[in-house]
Structure 1
């Protein structure tokens, strides 16, 4: 059974915290299957600036820990639990490990709680390389990580990037390291709406929405987006953006006005450290070695 309707439901008419530059990747690859080829002209997106999933297959069959019958969702290296956070972040993936270019908040949560209880684990590393993902489920997980501070050292070691929702998660850790070519930031929220009404009209197709409730089916792709609907969607995006800013400011000990002033900009390596979005510029291996020695 195809998962494209499910994917479309997760992409459109819902707040997303993900790097906008990833948009053309998914939209270009999935336009035909999502039925929105009319949005493209000459292979380029002409009406949207959304975000994207990465296509590569990631993980799914990593080795389990010795002596255990089931996967824990993390690997223990010299007393340090390593939890991989890669690709697009989604609320419910149903796996403990990254899979098919995505990582689930549900899997991260279970792995994190397991590592905190594991007597063999002295510290926890979130090994992050992600453009971000869904808002749904993100901030509850971020709050959990923030509350767990002080139980065991928790470091976010970026390899290479932590943008948007991925940065929200990283910001909750005790320490963030970023490589010279890695990035942090993109503290913002975006949403997408597809208007297929003109395309359907040209194709001789008429869709009639029959409603009970003035706002029922608001934002559907078969009608032009009304001014009122746009305003309500913008209000939701603004509310999620404010939550994002306040969360990062709390986690990193920064002023909310400073975080807001970044205007969802991304920062390369040292620049992210200079503004307080990361603590050190380090290669992932060097950061891991430093954490190990600190134990």
Structure 2
């Protein structure tokens, strides 16, 4: 008899896997999307699976084949790398694709780093249509986007939603462009707890949790949430929210921390998002691509040796929407402010090193470490503490008086070391005083 065929497990995350990433975790997710996810999960956890995952792009535009014939992880249109950010965001998952409804920070990071080092790429377009997702991973990727934006134009086009975590990523671009119907914002955090005790009671099921560690089962779904556990989870949500607000305020130079908080996690439509400072202008995707392509054609064909600040100073002002004169003035003001801040930081570091306890007796070494290295004050203190104190060449009074006769002693009993008498005037003075009063 032939053995039965063994069917491989379907690829992709199960609903149980999705639930583990959604429940009891801080999410930077639009509330409407959260409601849909919870509705799908309710009563179906572990039953169904998503369709197989795929790394394919969601947009038929540009080419993924480079001049050298290699396959890229993104498409290029006239020197502009287009990176789709479509679907709910998760931290890990590499090539989770559009068919799953998920996109991972891990995969986006790879696409971004590849595009940033591709000699055929001179600008990057983030094509965003996402309600947000996991908090874990968003901050790291946003920092990466901001870093790349220092070397080349990075534009976020909201097509047609950039909410919560997706907006956190968009905020790191040089410019955020929206359509008249784009949904932008939701700068907030949500954490969901499901109390399934009533449902289980109706089914005659009672859960018993056997555990070690008082907080091991905090937030379990088999009963209501205790006040103490609620307070702990609220503190966690507040901490993530503070970090989220700080990132947006830092990336959006025109918005203060208070202005970001004042949105109270609301979403804004088109022009309204521009009015509150969450976006820069309205345009179509084709128009943005044309502008970036024009910049790409005017940029150097190879970016080897590309100065960090050069693209920022020479980017076409049509993209930023300001005049060249205003741009130059802003650059000079920022440079001057940076120099002042750098000088103040350097002065504080030097004072901290030279004034620390470990520098006493090691002044020369402390001076070298302060002026000729870039070591932090904390690391410098550790080095100094492990170093021997330098000899000053002048013996202390106790050292100079060692072995000498006390005042009033017999002159004949005075033993004065000839070497120390030569090296120290204090020793001779003590000896003469002893002889005088003998």
What TM-score range do you get, normalising by the shorter chain?
Answer: 0.7 to 0.9
Question: Is the Cα contact below 8 Å between 1:127 and 1:158 reproduced in 2?
Answer: yes
Structure number, greater radius of gyration: 2
Separation of aligned partners in 1, 2:56 and 2:156 = 23
Name the structure where helix makes up a greater proportion of residues.
2
Check 1:125–1:183 CA distance in 2 against 1; reply closer, same or farther (3 A cut): same
**Cα deviation, residue 110, structure 1:** 0.4
Pairing 1:285–2:286 present: yes
Correspondent of 1:5 among 16, 32, 37? 16
Separation of aligned partners in 1, 2:258 and 2:213 = 39
Matched with 2:229 is 229
1:131-146 aligned at under 5 Å gives the runs 131-146=131-146
Question: Is the Cα contact below 8 Å between 1:90 and 1:105 reproduced in 2?
Answer: yes
**Cα deviation, residue 166, structure 1:** 0.3
Pairing 1:257–2:258 present: yes
Deviations 1:79-105 (A, max 9, x none): 000000001011112207544211110
Check 1:86–1:250 CA distance in 2 against 1; reply closer, same or farther (3 A cut): same
Pairing 1:61–2:59 present: no
Unaligned runs of 5+ in 2: 1-8, 58-62, 297-438
SS at match of 2:293: helix
Pairing 1:206–2:206 present: yes
Matched with 1:274 is 275
Question: Is the Cα contact below 8 Å between 2:28 and 2:134 reproduced in 1?
Answer: yes
Separation of aligned partners in 2, 1:122 and 1:5 = 42
Question: Is the Cα contact below 8 Å between 1:188 and 1:241 reproduced in 2?
Answer: yes
Name the structure where strand makes up a greater proportion of residues.
1
SS at match of 2:42: helix
Deviates more, 1:201-210 or 1:262-271: 201-210
SS at match of 2:100: coil
1:1-295 aligned at under 5 Å gives the runs 1=9, 3-34=14-45, 60-62=55-57, 64-66=64-66, 71-95=71-95, 98-253=98-253, 254-295=255-296
Question: Is the Cα contact below 8 Å between 1:126 and 1:156 reproduced in 2?
Answer: yes
Separation of aligned partners in 2, 1:193 and 1:175 = 36
Q: Given the two structures, how large is their TM-score scaled by the length of structure 1?
A: 0.87
Question: Is the Cα contact below 8 Å between 1:58 and 1:100 reproduced in 2?
Answer: yes
Separation of aligned partners in 2, 1:56 and 1:261 = 40
Question: Is the Cα contact below 8 Å between 1:96 and 1:110 reproduced in 2?
Answer: no
Q: Given the two structures, how large is their TM-score scaled by the length of structure 2?
A: 0.60
**Cα deviation, residue 65, structure 1:** 1.5
